[in-house]
Structure 1
Amino acid sequence: MRFAWQMVRHRFASFAGTFVAITLGVAVVAGAATLYLSSRPEAPERYSASPVLVRSPSVGENDYGEPEYESWTATEATGLATRLAKLPGVTAAAADPMFYVQRLIDGRATGDPEAARLDGHAWSSAALGGYRLAAGTAPDRAGEVAMAGSPPGTRIDVLTAEGPATWTVTGTTDGPGFYVPDAVALRMSPGVRVIGLTIDGDAATVATAARGVAGSSGEVVTGGERDSLEPASVTRVRWLGAQLLIALVGLGAFAAVFVVASTCALSAAQRRREIGLLRAVGATPGQVRRMMYAETLVIAVLAALAGLPIGALTAPLLAGPFVDAGLEPAGFTGTVQPLALAGAFLLGVVVALAGVAVVARRASRAPALDALRDAAVEWRAMTLLRWIAGVAAAVGGVVLLARLSAMSITVRSTAGLGGAMLLLTAAALLAPVVIVPLVRLATWPWRRAATGMLVREGTLVAVRRVASTAAPVLLTVGFTVLLTGTIATIDNIQGVDDAAKLPAATVVAPDGVPGLSDTAVTAQTGTSRLPTRVLITHGGGTAGYDAAGVPATEFAELTAPTASPSRSATPGATPSKPAGSGATPGKSATPGGSPGETARSGGTPGRTPGSDGQSGVVLDPATAKELGAARGTVLELRWADGTDERVPVRAVVAAEPGVLLPRELVRRHDPAALTDVVLLDGPPVAVAGARVMPVRDYVQIDIDEEGRLVDLFLAVLIGLTVGYTGLAVANTLLMATAARRDEFRALRLAGATTGQVLRVTSAEAVLAVAVGTALAALVAVISLEGVRSAVEAELDRAVPLVVPWGAAVAVTVVCGLVAVAATAGPVLRHRGLTAGGGS
């Protein structure tokens, strides 16, 4: 290690690229990991004074992998809370029914629409957050509310699932939320899923006693388990941020390995004579490898120690932008995470050693005779392993793209992207092979000019240097064109395709609210559906399904005896939002059976609900097949409010979503449900929380939101890739140019000026970047055409190819500027070299 330390001290310039790459890699990983570990689920603030919580039982997982919970009915929740309140050490037990409420100011909804879904609570649950009255009295009857920010006696306008209302503030609280009388809250909420306990005893003892009372009808959580009660909407926001952070960690580690390997390979090539001398004086291949590992380890430790504080200090500064971008929930902050710092340090060292592994093995085999060689000509640009890997990647990419038409439609896009990545990898590996003909072709017009001849011949005898410069440019430009082109091609057709599916020209959509109230819906002449979530028991298990309530006339038409099983949904049916913008209809993964009670309110003893023609359910063929149901089958259905009902299948038709119910029943059992959109059949009526827009604009809202997130991801990932590419190019050219001092001295002796030398080196750098860009453009366009054909087959309509040349040009210009600057530095530094100058 002492010898390695001395080598690093005296030749630090040779290791500068490796040092910077590892420093940046560790900083990126440390910062991203710090943010990731800081963004963990947290129990809602309204439970901060309740160390023991009881939640309703789970019946499996939904399509997002989140637990699917059944609700207690109001009667069950209040009964269980009463029994829990009698336990020793419990000072109070309160059910926490939640419902949608949003304040209106000057007729417009205020606040976060998604958070408003859970802003309404029962007054007794205020104690679970330790909230108290700062003034006034508790609400006692319908139309009264306690809240923060308004003095007692204030009249406020609010919007609920029923519609606009005016409430009187009876008390001012010291915590957020709208608190109404318990009976009112239970009536406005779709069941209860949480009961909180305030205690004056030991939490573990109280929790044990509470489990005995709750039994199978509830799950008791304490300590860190309470964090699992974080709202699903908040968890999904954290998930978006986590994807970007994970991508940053992976890309940072990969790019660091790439730059370290490239740097070490070039350094080893430049030290070939030095290594030959070591072999000549008796150094074994093992000793040479250990020397290179030791040098890299010294650099890695120093670089990691430099990168850790950069990442740790940067992470908290990024918390705000992450919240603003919608990648983290409001209030998120970055905190010091020792595990993240330790992991980043270790990863930096491992990445450095991984980057030097192959290079050290090759360098250790250098023969002792290399010490006698003085020529700068490279003996072999391609190794056998590189040939094999490059050809295999090329064949794999061509085969994948050629066989796209024979593959299943559902996997064509993925296979196309995989083929593109294989071709890019092949182009990078085989670059030394194609560089020679490309350079000859590019420099042909200037082959007789002095500068052109020098650029041409200097490049042809330094294929390794050109390949090391072109490879990162190739990968960066290729990935940029491929990713942005694929997204642009799909986005170009998606909006038109989604709008074409909608049968109405104008819609009434939410305006600053999460959905439309009943008042907003009934004021319009048009068609709508009221979404809800139901649990259906079948095959010994219980599964969650997205369902929708339809007007009585539409339900009667769907269930008419003459309805065809293959019939489509009636014209004017509410459209589902574009893929990715909402819950996916269909079955949720549900292991096991349904816990809790099986006899609940909702059904009439001795008679199947729906036999009078006023109830029942309509299924689409796919859902009916999952449930093993047909017309006349009786299903065990559990509503959002926790009540059970046996409902008959009235019809099986091609409708979306897969479960349709009478709207009146959905509203009765899900009083907090909100309508997504109304398709107008007549003139619109202005109401609070609603706006009129063309159907194309309504569809574009979700497309734009998804596009904003995708663009953000692309900008960050491409920015990081370009940064590492610039580092790789600069490091390669700095090291290579610095090692060519004898060559530059010869040019000066032959009469060349500093400007002429700069033109030669700059032309070489630009040529290397141009070669990488040309290869990237060729591979990317071929790959994009394969992806385009796959998308065209999936959509069954013509899809024009969109090539983002602007992004490619921008990335290429950045790489070119970095390359020219990197070559100019060493030349200008040694511009005073003369015939008698030192070496």
Structure 2
Amino acid sequence: MTAAWAMVRHRFASFAGTFVAVFLGVAVVAGSAALHLSSRPQAPARYDEAPVLITPPDPGTGDDRDRQSWTAEQAAALSTRLGELEGVTAAVPDPWFYVQRVEGGRPVGDPQTALQDGHAWSSATLGSYRLTGGRAPSAPGEVVLGTASPAGTPPSQTTAGGTRAWTPGGEPKTGNTTGPTSESPARRTTFGQQAGPGRATASGTVEVLTSAGPEEWRVTGTVDGPGFYVSDREAARRASGVRVLGLTVTGDPQRVADAARAVVGAAGVVRSGAERDALEPNAVTRIRWIGAQLLIALVMLGAFATVFVVSSTCALSAAQRRRELGLLRAVGATPGQVRRMMYGETALIALVAGLLGAPAGMVAAPLLADPMVRTGLEPAGFTVTWQPAAFAGAVVLGLFVALAGVTAAARRASRISPLDALREAAADPRSMTPARWVVGLLCGAAGAALLAAMPSLPLETRSSAGLGAAMLLLSSAALLSPVLIVPLVRVVARPWRSTATGMLVREGTLTGVRRVASTAAPVLATVGLTVLLAGTVATIEVATGIDETARYPAGNVLVPDGTPGLSAAAVTAQGAEPELTTRVLISRGDRTSGMSVTGRGDALILDRISAAQLGARGGDTVTIRFADGVEAKLQVAGVEDESSVPRSLVRQHDPDALTGMLVLTKEAVAVPGARSVPIHEFVMAEIDEEGQLIDLFLLALIGLTAGYTAIAVGNTLLMATAARRSEFRALRLAGAGTGQVLRVVTVEALLTVGVGAILGGLVAVVSLAGVRAAVEDEIGRDITLVVPWGATAAVTVLCAGLAVIATAFPVLKTAPANS
């Protein structure tokens, strides 16, 4: 370790690439881990005063949307029994329903939030929301408005749901159940901007949109929480069953939870403490999941790129230090001591870089919270907290990753023979080892075989196979780059071979193939990945647009306009029958499957996948559990591409169901919450919405990859050019000025980057053509091959600019004072 420390102190410049790579890698890992660990599920704020929550039993399908519902009668009976427990002050079922405010004829607020914005008046008990003016609702068409806008509320705080114990008639349970009053303890929470209901007073009317259509409600009061509160009877009529029952308690919540489990038994799941966080709304959970995928990808890519940069830097450093390492062997150093010295050097650099990079990442993480919220990668209200595990884990990971990167170089250096090292010429030794030949050829053969076999693969696997083939071909090109570079350099440099600069560049490049390959390889990989990823996404988006448009007849469609779906009134105004979307549980024997179905016609149709899962076919009888918790036995009328159930049953058991989209057969009738658009515009809007998120992922991944490539290119050229100072002095002694030497190294750098970009681009385009062919076969239509020229040019220019700077610096530093 003493020798390693001495080497680091006296040769720190040669470790600069390793230091920067580990510093950035640890910073990325620490920041991403802090963001991820800070983004934990949270129970909705409307349950803040309910430390014990009960949900219906989980059917075990693994999909949160497949949670069962209690019927209104079941929830009322269970709340009555729970309300009698010692320490329970209120047992409150919590039905919710869709309602959205309309201003100026247009719905306002977040459509997904609005799906749970309607509540029973007694529900405010669970959040300790109090009446701030007016009186409670008691009749149909009456509402108490929340003084916080759903539009400005974080999704996990958008509804102040909950109900106290009630009967289907809407009467509160007597005894220890209490409702919110103006004397109830106030709960002050920030709910975002005061818009919509936030400007309401305890009088007048409010226009809203529900699953039935536009309605006008009379405002009877206001409450200091978000949402729309109607009478318990009205909420029971509008909601699709009950999925949560909350308990407000006195004393120890855990003791109450244990007692509740004895009462509930198999009829539900009792949740207390952190278990309550499982009730986070699906929309919020999905947002967190999307953000987590990006953060995980950044961590993995950061770790991989760090290994790549460290390994290439250490390999080049070991090659430049062959004489030095040979001297150590000559004076008695064993191969093990040489390996340990290189491990020690890297460990010291990695430890220092990690201890500096981890705080940098932790400081940067809070600055990314707001941008992640704005881009839909985290829910509103997300904040970053101090995460010691992220700090320590990033430092340790950086150390292990750096040691992994130096392993190959250390083993190769330890095999240097003292006499061979001392006799070695200045020219590069052979750049291809047997192992590199074998692995490179195997990757190339596997990639080519996979592309050749794609026409015979199943349609659904061809796109994935194309991407796999591309990765194999890129790996092969990177491994075989020293062999491919020589003929490519001869071709590219041929026009300038007769000039002095051209001759020097050509011969210098061919002599230093290892140096050129070390620089070209990261450019090859980055340009190839950029073309492949961005081109694949763009090509698939074009194909999706063609395929989706072909599914519908030419013409217009009626689509939601600022709403989560089309109301019944919007559909019937067009003279059509609603095709209601709902979620059901279908059981046959011991098999249960949760699925989205469309309410249309008067028969039960199963899609082929669900039918196979259930082992059902036409004529079989299955049990369906609807959104409101009611079960019914239906006969399977047939098996087709899409599942559907009788429309009348969906409307009866899911009064909150909406229609996703309607194909128009005539001129659209204007209605709130809907608009008519050409079918192609509708399809492309759907694709663009998904594409924005994918583009964000691509930008982050390509940006991080390009950043590490810049480090690799800059560091490799800086080290390699610095080692050629004697060569530059010889050129100046032969009469070349500093400007001429700069031209030589600049052209060399640009040639190296150009060679890497050409190789990467060619491999990626070949692979991209294979992906396009697979997609064409899958959809049965011709599509355009999209090459991302802009992204490719940007990455190439970035690498070229850094390469020129990295090569110019050592030349200028060694220039004579009078030159």
CA distance in 2, matches of 1:631, 1:383: 64
TM-score normalised by L of structure 1: 0.89
Give the superposition deviation at 1:444: 1.8
In the alignment, does 2:657 pair up with 1:659? no
Is 1:78 the counterpart of 2:76 in the alignment?
yes
Using the size of structure 2 for normalisation, the TM-score is 0.91
**CA pair 203-728 structure 1, distance change in 2 beyond 3 A:** same
Give the aligned partner of residue 578 of structure 1: none
Q: CA deviation at 1:66?
A: 3.5
Matched letter for residue 447 of structure 2: G
In structure 2, the residue corresponding to 1:448 is in which secondary structure? coil
Secondary structure class of the residue paired with 1:665: helix
Query: What amino acid sits opposite 2:787 in the alignment?
Result: V
Report what 2:217 is aligned to: 167
Measured against aligned partners, the alpha-carbon deviations of 1:152-185 in whole angstroms (never above 9, x if no partner) come to 1132111111111122222221211212111111
Q: Aligned equivalents of 2:7 and 2:605: distance in 1? A: 78
CA contact (8 A) 1:530 1:549 kept: yes
Write the distance in 1 (CA, Å) between the matches of 2:618 and 2:816.
93
1:664-683 equivalences under 5 Å are 664-683=648-667
Once residues 16 and 71 of structure 2 are traced to their aligned partners in structure 1, the CA distance between those partners, rounded to angstroms, is 67
Matched with 1:295 is: 345
Determine the C-alpha separation between the residues in 1 that align with 2:505 and 2:394.
Answer: 42
Once the two structures are superposed, residues 180-206 of structure 1 have per-residue CA deviations (whole angstroms, 9 ceiling, x without a partner) of 111111111100010000111111110
Alignment equivalent of 1:424, drawn from 453, 474, 479? 474
Alignment match, 1:561: none
1:833 Cα deviation (Å)?
6.2
Aligned residue in 2 for 1:28: 28
Q: Which amino acid aligns with 1:380?
A: R
Q: Deviations over 1:665-693 (max 9, x none)?
A: 21111011111112212221111111111
The answer as to 2:272 corresponding to 1:222 is yes
Give the match for residue 545 of structure 2: 495
| Residue 627 (structure 2) aligns with | 640
Match status 1:273 vs 2:314? no
Superposition map of 1:647-796 within 5 A:
647-649=634-636, 651-652=637-638, 654=640, 657-661=642-646, 663-796=647-780
Secondary structure in structure 2 of the residue aligned to 1:91: strand
Within a 5 Å distance, the mapping from 1:292-691 to structure 2 comes to: 292-370=342-420, 372-373=422-423, 375-503=425-553, 505-526=555-576, 528-550=578-600, 555=601, 616-620=603-607, 623-624=610-611, 626-649=613-636, 651-652=637-638, 654=640, 657-661=642-646, 663-691=647-675
Report the counterpart of residue 786 of structure 2 in structure 1: 802
Paired position in structure 1 for 2:108 = 110
Residue 632 of structure 1: how far off its partner (Å): 4.4
Deviation at 1:464, TM superposition (A): 0.8
Deviation, structure 1 residue 272: 1.0
Aligned to 2:3: 3
Deviation, 1:545, is: 2.3
Return 5+ residue gaps in structure 1 as ranges. 556-614
Alignment of 1:69-218 (within 5 A): 69-146=67-144, 147-148=146-147, 149=198, 150-218=200-268
Residues 139 and 181, structure 1, Cα contact 8 Å, conserved in 2: yes
> Does the 8 A contact of 2:97 with 2:118 survive in 1?
yes
Q: Tell which deviates more after alignment, 177-186 or 728-737.
A: 177-186
Q: Residue 806 of structure 1: CA displacement? A: 2.7
The answer to whether the 8 Å contact 1:545/1:659 transfers is no
- CA shift, 1:620, in A, is 4.7
How much does 1:57 deviate?
A: 0.9
What amino acid does structure 2 have at the position aligned with 1:130?
Answer: S
Distance 2:597 2:546 in 1: 27
- Equivalent residue letter for 1:107: G
Does structure 1 conserve the Cα–Cα contact (< 8 Å) formed by 2:65 and 2:583? Answer: no
The CA deviation string for residues 229-268 of structure 1, in whole angstroms up to 9 with x for no partner, is 0111211111111111111000000000000001111111
Separation in structure 2 between the aligned mates of residue 634 and residue 67 of structure 1, nearest angstrom: 24
- 1:113 shift after superposition: 0.5
Is contact 1:516-1:675 (8 Å) kept? Answer: yes
One-letter identity of the residue aligned with 1:694: P
Question: What one-letter code is carried by the residue in structure 1 that aligns with 2:44?
Answer: P
The change in CA–CA distance for 1:800 and 1:504 in structure 2 (over 3 A counts) is closer
Change (3 A) 1:226 1:413: same
> What amino acid does structure 1 have at the position aligned with 2:804?
V
Corresponding residue for residue 56 of structure 1: 56
Contact between 1:315 and 1:334, CA under 8 Å: does it hold in 2?
yes
Contact kept? 1:58, 1:67, Cα under 8 Å = no
Q: Name the aligned partner's letter for residue 824 of structure 1.
A: A
Give the Cα separation in 2 of the matches to 1:527 and 1:753.
84
> Shift of the alpha carbon at 1:369?
2.0
SS in 1 for 2:32: helix
Structure 2 Cα separation of the partners of residues 734 and 627 of structure 1: 64
Residue 801 of structure 1 aligns to a residue whose secondary structure is coil
Alpha carbons 2:122, 2:232 under 8 Å: kept: yes
Q: What is the identity, as a one-letter code, of the residue corresponding to 2:75? A: A
Equivalent residue for 1:562? none
Q: Is the 8 A contact 1:748 1:834 kept in 2?
A: no
State the AA in 2 paired with 1:5: W
Q: 1:415 to 1:145 in 2, by over 3 A?
A: same
Query: Partner residue of 2:159?
Result: none
Q: Which residue of 1 aligns with 2:816?
A: 832
Q: Report if the CA contact (8 A) 1:510-1:516 is conserved.
A: yes
Structure 2 Cα separation of the partners of residues 285 and 303 of structure 1: 27
How far is the alpha carbon of 1:648 from its aligned partner?
Answer: 3.0
Structure 2 residue aligned with 1:17: 17
Whole-Å separation in 1 of the counterparts to 2:554 and 2:76: 45
SS in 2 for 1:672: coil
* Counterparts of 1:12 and 1:632, CA distance in 2: 78
Corresponding residue pairs, total: 767
Partner secondary structure for residue 669 of structure 2:
coil
The separation in 1 between residues aligned to 2:84 and 2:664, in whole angstroms, is 54
Is the 1:525–1:681 contact (alpha carbons within 8 Å) kept by the matching residues of 2? Answer: no
SS in 2 for 1:216: helix
- Secondary structure of the 2:659 match is coil
- CA RMSD in angstroms, aligned pairs only: 1.6
Unaligned runs of at least 5 residues, structure 2 = 148-197
SS in 1 for 2:648: helix
How many angstroms does 1:372 deviate by?
A: 3.2
Q: Which amino acid aligns with 2:58?
A: S
Q: 1:190 to 1:378 in 2, by over 3 A?
A: same
Which residue of structure 2 aligns with residue 605 of structure 1? Answer: none
CA distance in 2, matches of 1:413, 1:153: 59
